[in-house]
Amino acid sequence: MVPKIDVRHVSKTFYTRRGDVTTTTPALRDVSLQIMPGEFVCLIGPSGCGKTTLLRVMHGLIEPDSGDVLMDGDRTSEPGPHAGFVFQSFRLLPWRTVIDNIQFPLQIQGMPRAQRAERAGKYLRLVGLESFEHSYPHELSGGMQQRVGLARALALEPQILLMDEPFAALDAQTREFMQIELGRICEQLGVAVVFVTHSLDEALFLGDRVVLMSPRPGTIDEVLPVTMPRPRWDYDFRARPDFVEVRAYLWQRIRRMVADQPEFRSLPREAGSSASSSVV
């Protein structure tokens, strides 16, 4: 089976020039990862380990210094309809209605008016917001705005959905409902997903695999399959011994990664303890 996305030995360094001084920040080093059709993969790791950079390289927003990203066996190097991107911030156009926000990327592609209206309506119904078609973003709750962002990405009918901490700005209750909604939609559509999160619970609830990345420069440290049965919203998945075991293992791995960083070791003991608990 050909992977939907095949990341091969990708490395990326950022350069910042201030006056005569150039600072280098290595973000990714020799990252290889395959995403299979219909698979839900969650990226976790310490803050600054390159998760978002890897997502942007996959989308074509950033070109790697070395390595390749293949989509269905073909090299991809620029953004396009092959991948939908859902950001942490909602990024809706405030002067456009809900339906117009969903249609916007289709309009940019040059899709005829009638066709894009039909397509946008389909995904508006999928996320359950058909009665808010003519509302403006400021009239919606945070969860509803993120549903619009999801519908906008899905309206491109991408081969893969790239999601960068899309629920981080939501309150805890709304976040859990959005996780269920996303799981239901992806199961229905069979779309492949790469999902960046700092929440271990979220990664284990949504993912088929959890990819643990090392501190900067980010590498693939470990890939763990998630074997809990689906749909996971039909039972209390947090009560399962396998959930408790894997979550504790991942937390210990991330905590050790953070504790080994020079900037962490230089902090006072009390501040260091707080910093370690903030990574998830």
126 falls within a domain: no
Average pLDDT over residues 135-151: 92
264 falls within a domain: yes
Report d(CA 148, CA 137) in Å as an integer: 9
Contacts of 165 (CB under 8 A, 6+ apart): 88, 196, 197, 198
We report the CATH number of the domain holding residue 272 as 3.40.50.300
Both structure tokens of 224: 């763990």
Cα 70 from chain centre: 18
94 falls within a domain: no
24 falls within a domain: yes
Both structure tokens of 102: 């969903």
Tokens 């117009």 correspond to 100
Report d(CA 165, CA 152) in Å as an integer: 16
Both structure tokens of 245: 């075991």
Residues 176, 252, 196, 165, Cα dihedral to 10°: 50
The residue among 268 and 164 whose pLDDT is bigger is: 164
Report d(CA 33, CA 6) in Å as an integer: 6
User: How many domains are contained in the chain?
Assistant: 1
What range does the domain containing 165 cover? 5-82+158-277
Q: What is the pLDDT of residues 57-66, one digit of tens each?
A: 998 889 999 9
105 falls within a domain: no
Spatial CA neighbour of 132 closest among 53, 36, 143: 143
Amino acid identity, residue 231? Answer: P
Q: What is the pLDDT of residues 103-130, one digit of tens each?
A: 998 998 889 999 999 999 999 999 999 9
In angstroms and rounded to an integer, the radius of gyration of the C-alpha atoms of the chain is 20
Q: What is the pLDDT of residues 33-50, one digit of tens each?
A: 999 999 999 999 998 899
Cα 85 from chain centre: 8
Confidence of residue 264 (pLDDT cuts 50, 70, 90): low
Q: Say whether the peptide bond before residue 231 is cis (omega within 30 degrees of 0).
A: yes
Q: Is the dihedral of CA 62, 63, 66, 72 positive or negative?
A: positive
Report d(CA 279, CA 90) in Å as an integer: 23
201 falls within a domain: yes
196 falls within a domain: yes
Q: Is 258 helix (H, G, I), strand (E, B) or coil?
A: helix
Confidence of residue 98 (pLDDT cuts 50, 70, 90): very high
33 falls within a domain: yes
pTM of the model: 0.87
**Residues 208, 39: contact at Cβ < 8 Å?**
yes
Helices (H), the chain: 51-59, 98-108, 113-126, 142-154, 172-189, 200-206, 241-259, 262-265, 269-277
